[in-house]
Structure 1
């Protein structure tokens, strides 16, 4: 086993136990006790390092956030393992302007729905894939399919949302999504578009949008699964193979958040709001009154089956290069070891 001086980590601006564990100082403390420094991929000044947020290219790294980039990286051959999954449902909707005559999903027939697109992107276009999955789900609930609507691609040349310190952000940590869709809606180029999460619900509120179809809490997991539901905790295979005990420590630390959040709901939501860059009321509205009860780290059969279903969607729509075995991607050993340690 090689000695290890540092590890890399990254998380998405979203409700994840990894983000909360980081903000509590638990992750740094856990690795420091082993003499290992923790370095942030998102905060690196090196663009090639920041790219690993999507590619998972760095050895000795871990990530929790949207599932499209890790699915894409695994499909492309990157050897990673899923060592835990968090399922936190969130607001997902198709929205339109008042006066458009679009009041329900069935009214979308023959209408133009905006879909973001990043041409010539070196990494998976996760925003486009997310929007398309939401659109397909909404149409199915209205008895329609994608052939019944016009999908209008909205090209953007914006940099990755994980970049920080950009003067164009006007001092904020990041640029919020849906700007291109909002401009297209206001100019009459499109009739509706997909939003999700706290940022999506804030935008819908800001413009007084008609929520045409809302399905983030739909009872059918195949309807509501998307980039943010569920969110996997992934590690690269080399890290797991060479430093299994450190990965168990990591999993145990992140898993502690689930129980902690149940006892500290307001603080948990404040941490989530800080991560996303929105008000706490937006988190409660977008993720529901029990969001603090849905920050556990588990590996349930239903979660894994949902992953497999979404992987097939990404494959069918051409977002990932080739098929792979989702069930073989899961490694339950670190979580099982962490749970045994907690029980003892």
Structure 2
């Protein structure tokens, strides 16, 4: 099946794809920067609109709740899982594996060297009061901490969890046409150092925090913080479940009325994923514009083992299932559902066949 025989004639008003991409390691960033997303969409008579070109409220609602009928979102897995459980008609059409479930960071002078040293210590866990989105960072952190503590023979009963209120940014963000226009070095460092848990760690209110790969690298370079455990150093791929896989989700209306647009997005991402495999250093420069890592060299090191070509691999689906089960068990989502019913692989197959 190809994009031609999946295609249906949609009205001209429906030829604009609304899309957003999280600041994470996915091939669609490269497809945007190299012009391949625009090229593939143009080949089916469509164009793209980045959600960052909308008002702050509009982009936040659409990105987190998947509210637009002609929308694709690429990136973190918790918001689309949350929105689907709430009734959003979003569909998983591709995934990208990620090999870093997270780390535990402590102060460099804390005297903490192993997970066992965390017994009786204060561990931060953020909480957001925002009602328009999932508390995705808390969920990511709680799942990651659960696994990390288990590796040290500990449970949450062995540490003191300290809730740290999250801060919702109210800063005015001017409209942009792509994420790389909004992701300067100053903002990246601000996101790393001004995170409330990091502030609490620095001033001694807590002894440890959960962190992601890019943020941890920025913090360690100050000489004030260190990573004592990292889920990516284990051969067990299921430990990546707190952060991966990344998901490409599309609106059901888009898939029903203009499937060729979704296929065009996937083709651009597949092309970019294959190019990254042969051009890691050049790709690192591009991805450094849109992710947390401080330098392109950091990105190059971190993407060495990532397969950027979108897939629906059995491992990715298994980790997505584990994440969804965690979210339901810990009441981040109220409605359970079968992951298999959320995935539609025909569009990825068509994209691969077309290439």
Both structures adopt the same fold (TM-score exceeding 0.5): yes
Taking the aligned partners of 1:319 and 1:89, their CA distance within structure 2 comes to 23
**Cα displacement string for residues 234-272 of structure 1 (whole angstroms, at most 9, x for unaligned residues):** 101110111122222221221112211111111111111
Scaled by the length of structure 1, what TM-score is found? 0.91
- The residue that corresponds to 1:301 in the other structure is 314
- The residue that corresponds to 1:290 in the other structure is 305
Taking the aligned partners of 1:125 and 1:279, their CA distance within structure 2 comes to 28
Scaled by the length of structure 2, what TM-score is found? 0.88
Give the secondary structure class of the aligned counterpart of 1:258.
helix
Give the secondary structure class of the aligned counterpart of 2:288.
helix
Give the secondary structure class of the aligned counterpart of 1:59.
coil
RMSD after superposition: 2.2
Match of 1:210 among 220, 226, 236: 226
Residues 140, 86 of structure 1: alpha-carbon distance in 2 compared, 3 angstrom cutoff: same
In the alignment, does 2:273 pair up with 1:269? no
User: What is the total number of aligned residue pairs between the two structures?
Assistant: 335
Q: Contact 1:103/1:210 (CA < 8 Å) preserved in 2?
A: no
Q: CA deviation at 1:231?
A: 0.4
Q: What 5-or-longer segments of structure 1 have no aligned partner?
A: none
Q: CA deviation at 1:170?
A: 9.4
Write out aligned runs for 1:123-162 (5 A): 123-159=133-169
Q: Contact 1:75/1:323 (CA < 8 Å) preserved in 2?
A: yes
Q: CA deviation at 1:155?
A: 0.5
Write out aligned runs for 1:154-233 (5 A): 154-159=164-169, 164-165=173-174, 172=186, 175-177=190-192, 179-227=195-243, 229-233=244-248
Which runs of at least 4 in structure 1 moved beyond 3 Å after TM superposition? 163-166, 169-175, 288-291
Q: Contact 2:99/2:237 (CA < 8 Å) preserved in 1?
A: no
Residues 91, 209 of structure 1: alpha-carbon distance in 2 compared, 3 angstrom cutoff: farther
- The residue that corresponds to 2:331 in the other structure is 318
Q: Contact 1:164/1:173 (CA < 8 Å) preserved in 2?
A: no
Match of 1:257 among 272, 275, 278: 272
Residues 118, 70 of structure 1: alpha-carbon distance in 2 compared, 3 angstrom cutoff: same
Match of 2:25 among 5, 9, 15: 15
- The residue that corresponds to 1:240 in the other structure is 255
Taking the aligned partners of 2:340 and 2:280, their CA distance within structure 1 comes to 33
Taking the aligned partners of 1:160 and 1:26, their CA distance within structure 2 comes to 33
Taking the aligned partners of 1:54 and 1:216, their CA distance within structure 2 comes to 27
